[in-house]
Amino acid sequence: MRVLDDTVIKEMESTLQRYYRKIEELQSKRKALETVEKNADDIRRILLDVNQLIPSNGTVANYNLIVAESSGRVYDTTAQAYNEFSRSVEKFERELVTLLQKKIKLKMQIMQLEASLEGIGFALNLLDPLDRTICEQYYGVKRKSNLQIGLSLNMDEKSIRYRKKIINQKLSEYLKVRR
């Protein structure tokens, strides 16, 4: 293994920090997508239930005619109720469209994040589990010190520092980082 200079080590460390921030962002976007999908499904179910309650076309035409003839003022209580019902259904439909657009946007962002993480994720998977754990704990969003990592893994702080150097060397070779 070649010895790395400080610029390569700093570049590798910054790459790993970005990787773990993106992992966190990816998890939050997946959670947001899950919420959007649930809300869209709820609205779809409501709209399906509503479709079973809508009066026949002949009746709807009469309601619309009464509303149109009275210049938007509804005197027939049944027509008025139907008019309000129609507006609320339209509101649900607009909300569903908004949610579906948001779902598409989130899926695109998730795909871009996954693509940007692919190479580094593959390289990290080539490391042994202990080295991956050290990476997660040191470079992850909730950064731990060498001492904290050593205590959690029952290892000496110097061993953690040494393993981090080895990890950086391995990853720079896997990812073809040049000096």
pLDDT tens column, 97-127 = 999 999 999 999 999 999 999 889 999 999 9
Nearest to 20 by CA among 120, 151, 166: 120
DSSP code of residue 70: T
Whether 129 maps to a domain, the answer reads: yes
**In total, how many domains does the chain have?**
1
Whether 1 maps to a domain, the answer reads: no
Nearest to 123 by CA among 169, 65, 80: 169
Whether 134 maps to a domain, the answer reads: yes
User: Rounded to an integer, what distance in angstroms lies between the CA atom of residue 110 and that of residue 102?
Assistant: 12
Whether 64 maps to a domain, the answer reads: yes
Range of the domain at 50: 6-174
Could you report the per-residue pLDDT of 53-92, keeping only the tens digit for each? 765 444 555 555 555 555 555 566 776 777 787 888 889 9
Whether 148 maps to a domain, the answer reads: yes
45 and 38 in contact (C-beta within 8 Å)?
no
Whether 179 maps to a domain, the answer reads: no
Ramachandran category for residue 176: left, alpha or beta (phi over 0 → left; psi -120 to 50 → alpha): left
Whether 60 maps to a domain, the answer reads: yes
This prediction has a pTM of 0.73
78 and 63 in contact (C-beta within 8 Å)?
yes
Mean pLDDT of the chain: 84
Whether 14 maps to a domain, the answer reads: yes
